Chain A
Amino acid sequence: MKIVFKLYASLADYLPAERRGNIVELDVPAGATVGDLIARYRLPEKCAHLVLVNGHYIAPTDRGGKALSEGDELAIWPPIAGG
């Protein structure tokens, strides 16, 4: 199934070369979880700070069990803030 994977700020370097800016479209196996994607792209755990699926927050403890669906947009940031 296809999903959209977005890595922002200093995480952009972890995206594959075919990325468009901070975004890449991926083919992933059915049932793939947020945790699987974090592991597959070797994101250091402490760097995967803010994780959103379709804009909804996914808590660290839920990432392993959060299965992605066709068309989902997974976006991840390192520790950041603003104002």
Chain B
Amino acid sequence: MAWNRKLLRVNLTAGTCTSEPLNMQWADEYLGSRGLASKYLVSEIDPKVDPLSPDNKMIMSTGPLTGTLASTGGRYTVVTKGPLTGAIACSNSGGFFGAEMKFAGWDMIIFEGRSPKPVYLYVENDKAELKDAAHLWGTSCWHTEEAIKHELQDPLVRVSSIGLAGENQVLFGCIVNDLHRAAGRSGVGAVMGSKNLKAVALRGTKGVAGVKDMKAFMKITAEKKKVLADNAVTGQGLPKFGTQVLMNVINEMGALPTRNHRDVQFEDAGKISAEAMHEKRPTDGKPQLVTNAACFGCTIACGRISEIDKGHFTVVNKPEYWGASGGLEYEAAWALGAANGVGDLEALQYANLLCNEQGMDPISFGATIGAVMELYEMGVLTREQIGIEAPFGSAAALARLAEMTARGEGFGKEIGQGSKRLCTKYGHPELSMTVKGQEFPAYDSRAIQGMGLTYATSNRGACHLRSYTVASEVLGIPVKTDPLTTDGKPELVKAFQDATAVFDAAGICVFTSFAWTLADVQPQIEAACEGDWSMDKLNAVGERIWNMERLFNNAAGLSRKDDDLPPRLKTEPAKTGPAKGLVNGLDKMLPEYYQIRGWTPEGVPTAETLARLGL
């Protein structure tokens, strides 16, 4: 049993912390983390609940491999109903917080209600208590983590917290742990803020007990780490260049959404790429990149640690930003850069630092700025309204609007509602590059067709991490498919969706899938967890998780009409690159996808499908 078999229920309204046995029947059906926490959520809340009301719940959860010797076994997820989307939200983070939860003896923490005053949860092994956080409210994630470690007199405590964005209920507020890892998407930080919960501080000294067959587990995890080390992508490419190496690849393929998806190639992509991060700056002779970094138990180490140019206009007289810190990763660099036509690498890192410091999802923030800049260039928004001139390409506007959004100042409050609400308010909902209210990540689906279906059907709104068909369509992992055709993509998307759900539920990083398939994960789960964990069973777990999430969304009021892309991607052909003249073929893919899923033409799982999956 790699589970601790125990969850902590925190009633913030009553101020109580109680221990409960983990539902092991559910663990057998949903494995852990994303799967198991979602099962608890859908069983305990009304799908139509207001996400920011006390009736919503927020669950922090680990998987059975979290905290173990399995490579990348440091992941945890935050599951709730998302305020940005109105859909189920599951945000996944690395760092060291997840493993600490296991070491303290817990599998998950369920937060319910709303505290009458700001508090933080402190867990030290079996002991759990809510502590006053009045002195932390109004401060950043960085300050909160440091202050909690100081007041607990324990530098080894692991902290997840919200910054000003979560407090202000920015709808893409995130939860930051270990300074620069984040449960980033869908606004889970706003839910935490709505509960007056500033932080969760964990200290565990128990290790992970009860691995089913420790000898077999040690052997198989060592074997699979060797697979990662020997693979050129996970052993060399990712540690050396990080995810950012995709900037030039995706631009070359004409799939880099630029200026709010007006264009598919960015003339300054090279200036904001992984290669640029390695180049010495003319100003101070140093490269932006300092080193790579790994989360708990990770043998890939794709993370980027960088140092901003101290002379850059964004950080003059701001020494708090001069030290080495997290970023830039590809998604953030794209959203803050190409999406807005900004080619100033240092400005991107400054905006990224603000996102980490104050807890904002850089993808949704950056993409919303893209919409603001388009509305500004159209004359719909003016300098007086925004507070600064905001044409595409303005690094000054990017930096200033990041500050305003995090702090809830002026027009920043409107940006904090995300692009869907903002574009709708100003009469141009068609300019919001979102699905289910969540902003697109860094792949234009006119040039990578499968990603259009991925985005449209993602249960948490537009997202690349629900089925990363880029692996196949661009990188040839596990097999190369043609990115410009819709043929075969419904099957591909379903396969990626179901497999990814298992990786997430296990508590490991989906980046292992560049070298591992589910067949590499299965024996690690089998050795760690009691019960029979065959491939067939794991495939069913993945499909069950996906359908459970879908059922929740349908009950929340979402339907086929929400499985759609903005008109720009379906009617405005790509202007340049290999996809020149193409739009996304979602309308061709979606009916076939529903059929393969065993859903009705309206996107509802059939009774037969539900029975097959035990739902």
A residues whose Cβ falls under 8 Å from a Cβ of B: 6, 8-10, 12, 21-23, 46, 49-50, 52, 54-57, 59, 73, 75, 77-83
Contact = CB atoms under 8 A, between A and B. Distances in A.
B275 A80 contact: no
B578 interface: yes
Nearest to B271: A21
Given A9-B241, A55-B577, A55-B578, A78 B249 contact: no
A63 B330 CA distance: 29
Interface stretch (B116-124, B134-142, B230-238): B230-238
A49 B237 CA distance: 11
A50 B248 CA distance: 12
B274 interface: yes
B237 A9 contact: yes
21 contacts: A8-B275, A9-B240, A10-B236, A50-B474, A50-B475, A56-B578, A57-B476, A77-B248, A79-B236, A80-B237, A80-B241, A80-B245, A80-B246, A81-B233, A81-B238, A81-B243, A81-B475, A83-B243, A83-B465, A83-B468, A83-B510
A82 B252 CA distance: 15
Contacts of A9: 237, 240-241, 245, 274-275
Nearest to B276: A21
Given A9-B245, A10-B240, A82 B330 contact: yes
10 closest pairs, A vs B, by CB?
A79-B232, A82-B246, A82-B243, A80-B237, A55-B578, A80-B245, A81-B514, A81-B233, A82-B330, A79-B233
A75 B245 contact: no
Nearest to A56: B578
Interface of B: 231-234, 236-238, 240-246, 248-249, 252-254, 270, 274-275, 279, 330-331, 464-465, 468, 470-471, 474-477, 480, 482-483, 510-511, 514, 577-578
A49 B476 CA distance: 10
Contacts of A78: 232, 236-237
Contacts of B470: 82
Given A78-B237, A80-B238, A83-B331, A59 B480 contact: yes
A45 to B, nearest CB: 12
B253 A52 contact: yes
A9 B276 CA distance: 10
Given A10-B236, A57-B483, A79-B231, 7 more contacts: A8-B275, A49-B232, A55-B254, A73-B252, A77-B249, A81-B475, A81-B477
A83 B330 contact: yes
Contact of A12 (B236, B249, B275, B480): B275
A58 to B, nearest CB: 11
Given A55-B253, A82-B330, A46 B275 contact: no
A57 B249 CA distance: 11
Contacts of A49: 232
Contacts of B480: 57, 59
Nearest to B464: A83
Given A82-B245, A83-B330, A54 B237 contact: no
- Highest count of chain B CB atoms <10 Å: which of A75, A78, A79, A83: A83
Contacts of B514: 81
A46 B249 CA distance: 18
B35 to A, nearest CB: 21
Contacts of A54: 578
Contacts of B483: 57
A12 B245 CA distance: 13
Contacts of B232: 46, 49, 78-79
A79 to B, nearest CB: 3
Contacts of A77: 245, 248-249
